[in-house]
Chain A
Amino acid sequence: MKKIFTVLVLLLAVSTMFFVVGCKKEEKGTVKIAVVGPHTGDLASYGIPTIKAAELVVADWNANGGVLGRQIELVIEDDVCKPEVAANSAAKVVGEGVVAVIGHICSGATKSAMGIYNEANIPAISPSATNPPLTQSGDYPNFFRTIASDDAQAATDAEFIAKTLGLKKVAVLHDKADYGKGFADFTVEALKGLGVETVLYEGITAGAVDYSAILTKIANSDAEAIVFGGYHPEASKLVQQMTQMGLDIPFVSDDGVKDDTFIKVAGEYAEGVYASGPMDTSANPMSQKATADHKAKYGEDPGAFFINAYAATIALLNAIEKADSTDGLEIMKALRSNYVDTPLGSISFDDKGDAIGVGFAVYQVQNGAYVEL
């Protein structure tokens, strides 16, 4: 009796699988675009706004007849920001026959996925992967981004430290991951050029319960500021423990910290923190429309990289239209040769894939919100 029951359960499970597969049958005639990024896990707050941006743009275009006279379909895949998962997600969306990719979000994950897209000649536009070698190494001719690279960001931060704050000595910390360490290294380089000395340069363990030892070390060095390359969970622990220890020096960080989640988690301790992020585009009418659409549909302000993702999707659809083809190589050519109006302004892409016309600015937390300086 028990055996029969087991067999029945197995049969049921197998038939359910068939049912699921059956449902996923291809809709003919749509142009498929993948959106890949962290949609669950610690860093989901960086990935979800991109889905929303792509959905809003695609809804607009579909209502106006789609692209090349076909409707656009989004294929959404989660890479949890992990390189090992990203390679699988990439292979999966390639297998589903996507024309292009919006993503990935984190630099490490993007790096591991790009080779797979490159083999299939699929262009990918990331709204947020800022690691410089992605474009500068020339390894990925199919990679584009609607955000300036880390060295541009590091140069902005370094200039801010040297000129605006007028400091001479800094301590540089990073979280030992691609993004954070890349930013830290470029900042050290840029600071050297401006005559600022890096008195201390160290990696910290992400997720550790306590950073008192390293903060004590900084307090005992003659550093006048801390530069941190990494994401908001560590940044908020660092600023909280700095305040509790009475270590009162400026904390300058990157785009991974310039997110409202940082302010939410760090609360009062976030006050006064400097972080660089993409330039404020709130005066751009297209950006205002995108934000208004987001508010109308989701009832809240858009999250991190929303505008960049919105611009990436517009640039991509525009390039498909201009190329008059869904062939990857044609789309890449069109991305490079045309300027397109986006919420970030009028942008195009250079030979390496970096956006022309996109830059960084430094922000500070004042009264619980980031204010551009």
Chain B
Amino acid sequence: MKYFLQLVLAGLTKGSIYALIALGYTMVYGIIKLINFAHGEIYMIGAFTALIVGGALQITTGLSPLTILAISLAAAIFFSSGYGVTMEKIAYKPLRNAPRLTALISAIGMSLILQNYVLLAQTSDFLPFRSMIPNFPFLTPGKSLVTTTQLVILITTVVVMVILTLLIKFTRTGKAMRATSQDKVMAQLVGIDINKVITFTFAVGSATAAIGGVLIANHTGQINFYIGFLAGIKAFVAAVLGGIGSIPGAVLGSLVLGMTESFGAGYISSAYEDVFAFIILILILIFKPSGLLGRNEIEKV
């Protein structure tokens, strides 16, 4: 029973790691129907920014670890959002009226550019990322079940999910986002500045990626220019699984993915972890093509 519980917690951790990245993915898709393949790279840039800022602060100042974490997180969010918004302006905005496939290819190109930019500007080596989150003493007895970083990731995922849902459902900006998502032309006719809305969407999406980057780097303890790729793919799968475009769907999909991998590894074999993940994806898509919480789009003739 304890083993089962441990696997559940391992699955939860993995799931919430995927969810933290999947949230931004799914939100951008929900508003502008673009699969932003460069999202994983924004996540990676967030982690790098935090490493640089955090490292510099640790050496030059005597601030407490939590303050350093807060400052580097803020810097990561700022830079990642900057990159996200700029990326939208350069690579996606000129293609807004082009076929969707064109924007998709542009996104893949953006992803490669950012990867190689970090490779050249920083390094190809793995860099150590020392945990900035101090250990909670009350967790020490149960550290074989859940560690501090895991708990922080879990809580952050829930908080980010709730904030995003509230933002989209209940604020004026959220209403504008939904309107833009439904019909860009009509939204403009009723006076919504869709450029502003899309910029805002990218800024928020990139901010969640940055939060993910910093927390996950704290968990894995190392980063390099390539971490965004695998994480991005897994998060994309999770978002599709949950129904791309749906915020709670992204979290649910990620948890299903994380749990599948964890139980697959725990009870069968970790060598086939990815196989189980993709079998689940295929099964769910066969029976529910729009994903777990995705809405079926009704084609009006």
Using a CB–CB distance below 8 Å, which chain A residues touch chain B?
A: 40-42, 44-45, 176, 202-205, 207-210, 212-214, 216-217, 219-220, 232-233, 236-237, 240, 244-247, 261, 264-267, 269
29 A/B residue pairs, CB under 8 Å, sorted by A: A41-B124, A42-B124, A44-B124, A202-B270, A204-B270, A208-B230, A208-B273, A209-B14, A209-B219, A210-B10, A210-B14, A210-B17, A212-B13, A213-B11, A213-B261, A213-B270, A216-B6, A217-B265, A217-B266, A233-B222, A236-B221, A237-B221, A237-B222, A244-B147, A245-B143, A245-B147, A265-B126, A265-B127, A265-B222
Question: Top 9 nearest A-B pairs by Cβ distance?
Answer: A203-B271, A212-B10, A213-B265, A213-B262, A213-B10, A214-B270, A240-B221, A216-B6, A244-B147
- Identify the interface centre among B6, B128, B147, B273: most chain A CB within 10 Å of its CB: B128
User: Known contacts A214-B270, A245-B144: does B216 contact A209 (CB below 8 Å)?
Assistant: yes
B7 and A267 contacting across the interface, CB-CB below 8 Å = no
* Main DSSP-derived SS at the A contact region: helix
Smallest Cβ distance from A46 to chain B, in angstroms? 11
Let me know if B269 is at the binding interface, CB within 8 A: yes
B148 to A, closest residue via Cβ = A244
B126 and A216 contacting across the interface, CB-CB below 8 Å = no
Smallest Cβ distance from A234 to chain B, in angstroms? 10
Smallest Cβ distance from A30 to chain B, in angstroms? 30
Smallest Cβ distance from A328 to chain B, in angstroms? 33
Q: Which of B125, B127, B231 contacts A44 (CB 8 A)?
A: B125
Could you list 15 further interchain pairs (A-B, Cβ under 8 angstroms) beyond the known A42-B124, A212-B150, A245-B144? Answer: A204-B270, A204-B271, A207-B226, A210-B10, A212-B13, A212-B14, A212-B262, A213-B10, A213-B263, A216-B6, A216-B144, A219-B6, A237-B220, A244-B143, A261-B126
Chain A residues lying within 8 Å of B222, measured Cβ to Cβ, are 233, 236-237, 265
A215 to B, closest residue via Cβ = B10
Q: Which of A208, A210, A246 contacts B144 (CB 8 A)?
A: A246
> What CA separation (Å) do A216 and B7 show in the bound complex?
7
B17 and A42 contacting across the interface, CB-CB below 8 Å = no
Chain A residues lying within 8 Å of B149, measured Cβ to Cβ, are 244
> What CA separation (Å) do A265 and B217 show in the bound complex?
12
Let me know if B196 is at the binding interface, CB within 8 A: no
Chain A residues lying within 8 Å of B262, measured Cβ to Cβ, are 212-213
* Main DSSP-derived SS at the B contact region: helix
Bin chain B's interface residue count.
35 or more
- Identify the interface centre among A212, A261, A266: most chain B CB within 10 Å of its CB: A212
B220 and A209 contacting across the interface, CB-CB below 8 Å = yes
Chain A residues lying within 8 Å of B144, measured Cβ to Cβ, are 216, 219, 245-247
B220 and A220 contacting across the interface, CB-CB below 8 Å = no
Q: Which of B1-22 contact A (CB under 8 A)?
A: 3, 6-7, 9-11, 13-14, 17
> What CA separation (Å) do A106 and B266 show in the bound complex?
31
Smallest Cβ distance from A79 to chain B, in angstroms? 14
> What CA separation (Å) do A269 and B219 show in the bound complex?
13
B230 and A207 contacting across the interface, CB-CB below 8 Å = yes
A214 and B219 contacting across the interface, CB-CB below 8 Å = no
Q: Which of B9, B126, B143 contacts A232 (CB 8 A)?
A: B126
A205 and B266 contacting across the interface, CB-CB below 8 Å = no
> What CA separation (Å) do A214 and B271 show in the bound complex?
10
Chain B residues lying within 8 Å of A245, measured Cβ to Cβ, are 143-144, 147
- Identify the interface centre among A213, A219, A232, A264: most chain B CB within 10 Å of its CB: A213
Chain B residues lying within 8 Å of A220, measured Cβ to Cβ, are 3, 6
> What CA separation (Å) do A339 and B11 show in the bound complex?
56
Q: Which of B128, B226, B274 contacts A264 (CB 8 A)?
A: B128
Chain A residues lying within 8 Å of B175, measured Cβ to Cβ, are none
B143 to A, closest residue via Cβ = A246
Let me know if B81 is at the binding interface, CB within 8 A: no
> What CA separation (Å) do A220 and B270 show in the bound complex?
15
Smallest Cβ distance from B228 to chain A, in angstroms? 11
Chain B residues lying within 8 Å of A266, measured Cβ to Cβ, are 128, 221
Q: Which of B13, B266, B270 contacts A203 (CB 8 A)?
A: B270
- Identify the interface centre among B10, B14, B226, B270: most chain A CB within 10 Å of its CB: B270
Chain B residues lying within 8 Å of A267, measured Cβ to Cβ, are 128, 130, 221
A210 and B224 contacting across the interface, CB-CB below 8 Å = no
A204 to B, closest residue via Cβ = B270
User: Known contacts A40-B124, A176-B271, A264-B128: does B265 contact A210 (CB below 8 Å)?
Assistant: no
B272 to A, closest residue via Cβ = A203
Q: Which of B128-187 contact A (CB under 8 A)?
A: 128, 130, 143-144, 147, 149-150
B219 and A210 contacting across the interface, CB-CB below 8 Å = yes
User: Known contacts A42-B224, A237-B220, A244-B149: does B273 contact A205 (CB below 8 Å)?
Assistant: yes
B221 and A217 contacting across the interface, CB-CB below 8 Å = no
Q: Which of B257-288 contact A (CB under 8 A)?
A: 261-263, 265-266, 269-271, 273-274
User: Known contacts A210-B17, A217-B266, A245-B147: does B124 contact A233 (CB below 8 Å)?
Assistant: no
> What CA separation (Å) do A212 and B230 show in the bound complex?
17
A42 and B226 contacting across the interface, CB-CB below 8 Å = yes
> What CA separation (Å) do A220 and B266 show in the bound complex?
10
Smallest Cβ distance from A174 to chain B, in angstroms? 9
Chain B residues lying within 8 Å of A265, measured Cβ to Cβ, are 126-128, 221-222
> What CA separation (Å) do A39 and B149 show in the bound complex?
34
Chain A residues lying within 8 Å of B270, measured Cβ to Cβ, are 202-205, 213-214, 217
Smallest Cβ distance from B236 to chain A, in angstroms? 14
> What CA separation (Å) do A306 and B220 show in the bound complex?
29
> What CA separation (Å) do A207 and B274 show in the bound complex?
12
> What CA separation (Å) do A205 and B219 show in the bound complex?
17
